Structure 1
Amino acid sequence: MKNQCEKIIQYIKDFGGITTLQAFKDLGITRLSGRIYDLKRMGYCLKSETVTGKNRYGEKTHYAKYSLEETA
């Protein structure tokens, strides 16, 4: 059985990135930012980009999407 960090890395490799909502809905992980912190301490090069979307009321919202940095 994979731990949360392993699941996140696999998800990013499979889908190109992950958001907090995807981590919760698809993986059952409630503290994505905590696991991202752990992964960075383990040596993974992760980047975050701010994505703009709308909530259920049509209001603009911003959230982070994490992905692996490209290596040269």
Structure 2
Amino acid sequence: MNNTQLKQVLGHLKQGETISQAEAIDLFDCYRLSAIIQRLRNTGYDITTHNERNKSGIGRHARYELVKQVAV
């Protein structure tokens, strides 16, 4: 994980988009999305986790959504 990926994920979330691990890999070559989400939460961002079924119907994955931005 690097700061560029953190900024890319944060920018994506700030645009009102949600993101899953598979999307993070496709969009930003980011393989540690949960670590980025934890860093953002530790900074004060309110990010919620939605657990969704995989397209195959077997298993689940996390989808992250920015609920509230940090007050400046």
How does the TM-score come out when normalised to structure 2? 0.79
User: Percent identity over the alignment?
Assistant: 22
CA RMSD of aligned residues (A): 1.9
Between the aligned partners of 2:10 and 2:47, the Cα distance in structure 1 is 10
How does the TM-score come out when normalised to structure 1? 0.79
Between the aligned partners of 2:36 and 2:8, the Cα distance in structure 1 is 10
Residue 59 of structure 2 aligns to a residue whose secondary structure is strand
Between Structure 1 and Structure 2, whose CA radius of gyration is higher? 1
Aligned length: 67
| Stretches of structure 1 lacking an aligned partner (at least 5 in a row) | none
Q: Give, in angstroms, the shift of residue 61 of structure 1.
A: 2.0
4+ aligned runs moved over 2 Å, structure 1: none
| Stretches of structure 2 lacking an aligned partner (at least 5 in a row) | none
